[in-house]
Amino acid sequence: MLLAANVCLPPFSPVLRLPLLGITEGTVEVHRNNANSKLGVSSQAELFSAATRYLASKQT
């Protein structure tokens, strides 16, 4: 979980961090599109909001 947070947060662009994970930009796009489809969202902002709501619900 910590690695994922470090990859997603500033100060570096996520694209610059992809080599740390050993994945390509295309791989990220495929997974993001699949997540958007499954969650019924259409933007990165909506996806992030859904993810943060989910994580917040697991902390209780």
CA–CA dist 50, 37 (Å, integer): 12
DSSP, collapsed to helix, strand or coil, labels residue 13 as: coil
Rg over alpha carbons for the chain, rounded to the nearest Å, is 12
pTM (predicted TM-score) = 0.59
pLDDT reported for residue 1: 44
The predicted-structure confidence for 7-51, as pLDDT tens digits, reads as follows 555 555 667 778 888 888 899 889 889 989 999 999 888 988 998
CA–CA dist 19, 9 (Å, integer): 15
CA–CA dist 23, 15 (Å, integer): 10
pLDDT reported for residue 51: 87
Report whether 4 contacts 14 (CB < 8 A): no
